[in-house]
Structure 1
Amino acid sequence: MTNPIEAAESASNALTAQGRILESIDQYYADNCVFIEPDGASRTSKDAERAHLEGFFASLKSFESATLHGQAVGDNFSASEWTFKMTAGDGSPIIWHETLVRTWQDGKIVSEKYYTQA
């Protein structure tokens, strides 16, 4: 039997890998989800994160890929390692190597913290 968090994590990650990040947020994140950036900045709702990402994506020339390198799932916990490749509005490349650590409650993500990698 598949762990329900593992199934939801895999489905959320599949949407992200397809570039459908906003859909993943809509489906898998709690309304009061807290998003924490590597510098400690945070957003305290799904709506705030969605607005933040809509603005960011609008500033891009293109979003090339989101590559999932691996994921791990535990009790009300998941983590996934990613490489995101994009092109900024000015044409410069953006490459992010991130690990996303998530806490789950009642089948929804209630917190997500981003860790950047060199």
Structure 2
Amino acid sequence: MTEQQISAELDRLISMMASGKALETFDEFYHNDIEKTDLDGVTHKGKIENRRIGEELLAKVKAVRDFTAVGKVVKGNRSFLVWSLDYDHADNGPVKLVEVAIQDWQDGKIIREYYAA
């Protein structure tokens, strides 16, 4: 994919997330062999496992005040997507942070994703 194609796909991803379609977004944009490292530093491999983790997280979100993309950069097959988050989690209480999703693309999908805050 070209940088322009990845940028256009990110725009679609952001639009779907803004529409509340988190799991549908995951299904469409993530590679079957995804390796995803969340803020806790633990890497999970495979689309099935990562979707399960996403479902568990979403089930515990009680209120969302902010979930917006505030910036993006694409260079080569890597993208950087900056998210502003403010929500209530059933176990962790209020969560407010700005995080960067560092994404590597392969075959038109995100194959590696690492989060940093």
- Classify the TM-score, shorter chain: 0.7 to 0.9
Q: How far apart, CA to CA, are the structure 2 residues paired with 1:100 and 1:90?
A: 23
Deviation at 1:18, TM superposition (A): 2.9
Relative to structure 1, the CA distance from residue 74 to residue 90 in structure 2 (aligned partners, 3 Å threshold; closer, same or farther) is closer
Could you tell me whether the CA contact under 8 Å between 2:60 and 2:91 is conserved in 1? no
Deviates more, 1:12-21 or 1:36-45: 12-21
Deviates more, 1:59-68 or 1:23-32: 59-68
Deviation at 1:113, TM superposition (A): 0.4
- Aligned residue runs from structure 1 range 28-47, under 5 A: 28-47=29-48
- Aligned residue runs from structure 1 range 1-118, under 5 A: 3-89=4-90, 92-116=93-117
Structure 2 gap ranges (5+) = none
Deviation at 1:68, TM superposition (A): 1.0
Q: Provide TM-score, normalisation by structure 1.
A: 0.86
Deviation by residue 1:44-69 (Cα, 9 ceiling, x = unmatched): 01221111111111122223331111
Q: Give the 3-state SS of the residue equivalent to 2:27 in structure 1.
A: helix
Deviates more, 1:14-23 or 1:3-12: 14-23
Q: How far apart, CA to CA, are the structure 1 residues paired with 2:60 and 2:112?
A: 25
Q: Give the 3-state SS of the residue equivalent to 2:63 in structure 1.
A: strand
The code of the aligned residue for 2:27 comes to: D
| % identity of equivalent residues | 28
Question: Considering only aligned residues, what root-mean-square deviation do their CA atoms show, in Å?
Answer: 2.1
The alignment covers a number of residue pairs equal to 116
Q: How far apart, CA to CA, are the structure 1 residues paired with 2:93 and 2:63?
A: 10
Off by >4 Å, runs of 4+ in structure 1: none
Q: Provide TM-score, normalisation by structure 2.
A: 0.87
Q: How far apart, CA to CA, are the structure 2 residues paired with 1:31 and 1:96?
A: 28
The code of the aligned residue for 2:100 comes to: T
Deviates more, 1:82-91 or 1:93-102: 82-91
